[in-house]
């Protein structure tokens, strides 16, 4: 079995929104990037402009789709696919509520459960990435195929955490998946055996200004 990577996945969180800055839970609210978020997305695009993407996915929510568009302006011939499976965790009646404005000890039943959210992240991964790996042939020493996916903070953190826990990907044992900054880049190399390595998590070295330290959608206790 070959040990070299055949696919490199770039998971990018959307740019900043006003709701991010006000610590409002967005979930699947269809919010827009603010001016800072647009600038972040442009910087992210510049950082990735020399990556030879073969395919790009994005959540269909506006904040992710606009981020993806700004990144993909450097890759006009690459197909950008909207996928509802990349949406943020559905937060039900908590959407639009500020952090601290609800009882954190018990989430409403309208919130997507942790189990359902995890299943959805893994379903997207298998559909978009996993099922195709055994059929990819890349000569040793060649570049892997590069795939972009623009999503949301809790989605990316949850996906990485469950892939590590399931031993699908390897990561340093002390790596913390709680924070995923706006337009951060997470990079995963995958092999034909459907296993791989987490190369970078939440890299924001391309940003001119420090990213927000908190993510309201990722601060909830499991339900």
Residues of each annotated binding site for substrate: 13-20, 63
Look up residue 52 and give its two tokens: 């030879």
Look up 206 and say whether it is catalytic: no
Look up 132 and say whether it is catalytic: no
Which residue ranges make up the annotated binding site?
A: 13-20, 63
Kindly name the residue from 14, 132, 146, 152 that is annotated as catalytic.
Answer: 14
Kindly name the residue from 75, 88, 112, 146 that is annotated as catalytic.
Answer: 88
Question: How far is residue 201's CA from residue 186's CA, in Å, rounded to a whole number?
Answer: 4
Q: Which residues are catalytic?
A: 14, 88
């Amino acid at each position: 079995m070959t040990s070299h990577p055949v696919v490199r996945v770039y998971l990018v969180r959307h740019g900043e929104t006003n709701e991010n800055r006000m610590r409002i839970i967005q979930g699947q609210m269809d919010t827009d990037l603010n001016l800072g978020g647009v600038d972040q997305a442009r910087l992210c695009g510049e950082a990735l402009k020399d990556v030879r993407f073969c395919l790009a996915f994005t959540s269909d929510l506006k904040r992710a789709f606009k981020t993806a568009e700004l990144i993909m302006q450097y890759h006009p011939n690459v197909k950008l696919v909207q996928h509802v499976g990349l949406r943020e965790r559905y937060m039900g009646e908590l959407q639009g509520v500020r952090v601290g404005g609800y009882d954190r000890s018990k989430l409403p039943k309208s919130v997507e459960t942790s189990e359902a959210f995890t299943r959805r992240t893994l379903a997207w991964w298998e559909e978009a990435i996993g099922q195709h790996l055994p059929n990819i042939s890349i000569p040793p020493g060649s570049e892997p195929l590069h795939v972009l996916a623009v999503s949301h903070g809790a989605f990316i953190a949850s996906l990485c955490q469950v892939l590590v826990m399931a031993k699908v990907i390897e990561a340093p044992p002390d790596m913390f998946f709680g924070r995923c900054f706006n337009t951060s880049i997470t990079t995963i190399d995958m092999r034909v055996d459907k296993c791989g390595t987490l190369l970078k998590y939440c890299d924001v070295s391309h940003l001119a200004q420090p990213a927000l330290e908190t993510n309201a959608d990722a601060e909830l206790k499991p339900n």
